[in-house]
Structure 1
Amino acid sequence: MTSDHFATWKSREALAEAMIPMIGHLYRERDVTVLVHSRSLVNKSVISILKTHRYVRQIEGRELAIEDTFPILQALAELDLGPARVDIGRLAVSYAEDSQGLSVEEYTAKAVEGATGENKIVQEGPRDVVLYGFGRIGRLLARLLVEKSGSGNGLRLRAVVVRKGGEDDLKKRASLLRRDSIHGQFNGSIHIDADNNTICANGNTIKVIYANDPTEIDYTDYGIDNAVLIDNTGKWRDREGLSKHLRPGVSKVVLTAPGKGDVKNIVHGVNHETLRDDDNILSCASCTTNAIVPALKAINDEYGVEHGHVETVHSFTNDQNLLDNYHKGNRRGRSAPLNMVLTETGAASAVAKALPELTGHISGSSIRVPTPDVSMAILNLTMGKETTREEMLDYLRHTSLHSTMKRQIDFVASPDSVSTDFVGSRAACIIDANALIVNGKHVVLYAWYDNEFGYSCQVVRVVQHITGVEYPLFPQG
């Protein structure tokens, strides 16, 4: 029996090894991202590919066999595909349930016909991106943009704007991008060109521009045109301040903090479709807003939300002090690594901008805790109708797999999950199935979220949407 298990494992390892060059070719040559139940397989190791297949067991109740997805991938590799995202996990499941009698090749070709032949997306070349600021979120955005550079026809990180910190500024910026105490080593190669003041990351040349104010820069001087600028400093949050970034070479500005006034606050997966072509200034709201809004929408859509309170247990941030010292905010001057700090959050009020139907129905508060990353939102809600715990779990599980918010809402049923398990999660929130409490119309829902990386993924999704490089997903429906 032991030898049988080992033989099966070795066989599956061989299939995963054979998958890697096909996945890489599709991604780099055709801008096709291969997924398994919304999880990308691009640049993944053999073990990561196998673990991704096994993870499906937690949410579907059974393991997805790589023996089923491998023929689907082989069929994809033979097709003349254009830019797309293809979920071979969902294709394998639907093929197993199909009764048309088609071969794997026929079924796969039919499922992705919207990305082949005359239906292929015609790319006009890469879209320039500029990062204004290079802190926690800025560096994670840089990692994601480099990772998603694909064939070079999608988003292209061209420049980073910072204030110069010293003679060795470039070297230190590159070092911080290369190594991160929470998110680990950069996945690839980084070197600097001091003569041209650039950082080269996996072949992407990133100009480091030193400036004290947006109005000092003409981006066309650096060959940058029609760029999306992502302001991750949070210094300007209204339209007047953010308009300073609309300089020669920049056509759109995206803020990684809650916008003020008439600036649209966008949560991808919930209200990104409200954006118009002429929206040149927008906000991606906060990490907490991105975590709670998808979960609130899911529950409101199915059960209705009469009123509720959201409590966030949030990791400390650079806004707080390491040791007790003066701070303009209440309590935030007390030592972050030594205390739980009760503080305010604007996430509840921001819900109204993304989900206007819940205006005035949600209150919120926050506790900062001595962990460096990954937070939790606790949604204490009174719904419009009664349900059971089992019914709600089935609904949330299905939402995480098959809804339009499957990239925002993840689902975990492990009895031993703790915060560090979700470092690097790309979802906006992860529903903790074992913690869910349902009592008639009352529900208490616990949702984890990587307040750094998960939020950065949401920002990139918004940028992909407004630039037209958010490629269609197959199978559709």
Structure 2
Amino acid sequence: MERERTAELERWNARQALAETMIPLIGNLYRNYGVVPSIHGRRLINQSPVEILKAHRFARKLNDTELPIEETLSVLAALVELQPRSASIDLAKLVLRYREAGNGRDLLEFLREELEPALGASPRHGAGVDVVLYGFGRIGRLLARILISHAGNGEGLRLRAIVVRRGAENDLLKRASLLRRDSIHGPFEGTITVDVENNTILANGTLIQVIYSDDPSTVDYEAYGIRDAIVVDNTGRWRDREGLENHLKNTGVARVLLTAPGKGDIKNVVYGINHTTIEPDDRVLSAASCTTNAIVPVLKAVNDAYGVRHGHVETVHSYTNDQNLTDNFHKGDRRGRSAPMNMVITQTGAASAVAKALPELAGKLTGNAIRVPTPDVSMAILNLQLETPTSVEEVNSYLRGLSLDSTLQQQIDFTDSPEVVSTDFVGSHRAGIVDGLATICDGTNLVLYVWYDNEFGYSSQVVRVLEHMAATHPRVLPERAATVEAHTGQLSIV
């Protein structure tokens, strides 16, 4: 037993040393070439050696085998030699494909073929796109954290400014403190410096101008060197085209993205589903709601495989700032009652909003919501009547496969742990996480439980829409995604 214990510790230390070796290679690729290495969609940027090892262990969900770190390290070292540019590269998929289709070729030769679209490209120094956050609440601050962490070599989205109404004499210090400390998502990972005289916040090398205004049409962004910017309106004050177009009256603003469901003819975009419908002349867009982003990818997957006749969406949603801490007047029904003390039945537009992103389900869904006394992470319960019968095992296998390797990999995650609860999903980058152990199926009657971080998961989706609007979303490689046969659950690389 003692010998076995010693051997296991030595093995752990050896693997940890390999993970430590990977860190400077990952940083080199990210900072110098705009390459984001990942393992089955889990980013390795700014991760500790232990987190890197956890990502390798996660790979066992694909074929019950932990991904050998020796193999991913070899691929990573080869990437540094090849110097691809502006790409999101999945090391696990490359390892698996090299095993299956390498055919005795040298690793570098194989990678040159797989990564050809990202090789030989010229760096785009100075080609970043300016972003302004109009509002700095829960979503605004998380967007700032993500944009700062994605700054890389400056070729992508560049957070240039935030616009807020002055709330106090020491407003700037308070804004910076809220960015630095978060009761739900923890401390900011990095350093923050405040320049009160110039109204700027310097966060991990990103210089952010703080602009005070309560009228979007009066800000002179060009006075701060901001041009052709995308303004992300996360205030919720304006949701129609007329109100949001006030941003476009500014010099320096090219487009507007709303972080709430848009009204009227505004396109509601769920990244991964209908983001390709964005046209260059779409100057005002919406990133829909957190619930819509969580359920639409799963609904599309189920509808594609089995067909949805009709269904009901019930969201069990964490309370938000729109509710009261204690009972007080509120213009909305029931929302005036104390949020931390009550479950509150309220309305959700998510079911009807699905049709804007997924027209084939128009008129097929109803919806309702229950606000509950938790600060973050919500759940959507999808009660669906299918066209084609299935089983728990089949539909779970199908959705698990999509979460590991598909075009919906960034949107759908999957868990089958018998011990997970809502706090386990705080900080999830995915739009929604299917809880496989809660799945109920009896032929054509299917009930799915989908967790989602209604703050961070949604903010990650917003950034993906931003990257698409700005044409800065990194190319995802290898390009050939796996396919999952809906009625067998078998995953195969094609």
TM-score bracket for this pair, using the shorter chain length = over 0.9
Contact 2:134 2:234 survives alignment (8 Å) = yes
- In structure 1, what is the equivalent of residue 491 of structure 2? none
What do the CA deviations read for 1:236-268 (whole angstroms, capped 9, x no partner)? 001111000011100000000000000000000
Shift of 1:97: 1.8
Match of 2:191 among 189, 197, 209: 189
Contact 1:131 1:229 survives alignment (8 Å) = yes
CA distance in 2, matches of 1:74, 1:298: 36
What do the CA deviations read for 1:382-416 (whole angstroms, capped 9, x no partner)? 01101121111111111112221100001111111
Shift of 1:57: 2.2
SS at match of 1:214: coil
Contact 1:429 1:448 survives alignment (8 Å) = yes
CA distance in 1, matches of 2:125, 2:37: 19
CA distance in 2, matches of 1:104, 1:413: 35
Aligned residue identity for 1:233: T
- In structure 1, what is the equivalent of residue 266 of structure 2? 263
- In structure 1, what is the equivalent of residue 439 of structure 2? 436
- In structure 2, what is the equivalent of residue 53 of structure 1? 56
1:293-312 aligned at under 5 Å gives the runs 293-312=296-315
Match of 1:76 among 76, 79, 85: 79
Match of 1:142 among 141, 144, 147: 144
Aligned residue identity for 1:238: D
SS at match of 2:37: strand
- In structure 1, what is the equivalent of residue 234 of structure 2? 232
- In structure 1, what is the equivalent of residue 169 of structure 2? 167
CA distance in 2, matches of 1:29, 1:330: 53
- In structure 2, what is the equivalent of residue 201 of structure 1? 203
CA distance in 1, matches of 2:330, 2:58: 44
CA distance in 1, matches of 2:102, 2:34: 31
- In structure 1, what is the equivalent of residue 292 of structure 2? 289
- Alignment length (residue pairs): 476
Aligned residue identity for 1:155: L
Aligned residue identity for 2:90: D
Residue segments in structure 2 that go unaligned for 5+ positions in a row: 481-494
CA distance in 2, matches of 1:51, 1:307: 39
CA distance in 2, matches of 1:63, 1:439: 33
CA distance in 1, matches of 2:259, 2:50: 34
Shift of 1:290: 0.3
CA distance in 2, matches of 1:475, 1:122: 22
TM-score, structure 1 normalization: 0.98
Shift of 1:106: 2.0
Match of 1:24 among 22, 27, 30: 27
Contact 1:83 1:120 survives alignment (8 Å) = no
Shift of 1:7: 1.4
1:297-336 aligned at under 5 Å gives the runs 297-336=300-339
Residue segments in structure 1 that go unaligned for 5+ positions in a row: none
Shift of 1:212: 1.1
| Residue 275, structure 1, aligned to residue 278, structure 2 | yes
1:264-413 aligned at under 5 Å gives the runs 264-413=267-416
Contact 1:59 1:413 survives alignment (8 Å) = no
CA distance in 2, matches of 1:228, 1:342: 36
SS at match of 2:244: helix
Match of 1:114 among 113, 117, 122: 117
Instruction: Single out whichever of 127-136 and 81-90 deviates more from structure 2.
Output: 81-90
SS at match of 1:215: coil
- Alignment RMSD, CA only? 1.1
SS at match of 1:91: helix
CA distance in 2, matches of 1:255, 1:56: 36
CA distance in 1, matches of 2:237, 2:270: 20
- In structure 2, what is the equivalent of residue 470 of structure 1? 473
CA distance in 2, matches of 1:62, 1:351: 37
Superposed structure 1 runs of 4+ greater than 6 Å apart: none
CA distance in 1, matches of 2:452, 2:172: 32
Instruction: Single out whichever of 340-349 and 123-132 deviates more from structure 2.
Output: 123-132
Aligned residue identity for 1:271: N
Contact 1:382 1:443 survives alignment (8 Å) = yes
Distance 1:121 1:392, change over 3 A: farther
Instruction: Single out whichever of 47-56 and 301-310 deviates more from structure 2.
Output: 47-56
Shift of 1:58: 3.5
TM-score, structure 2 normalization: 0.95
Contact 1:59 1:412 survives alignment (8 Å) = no
Aligned residue identity for 1:199: I
Identical columns (%): 58
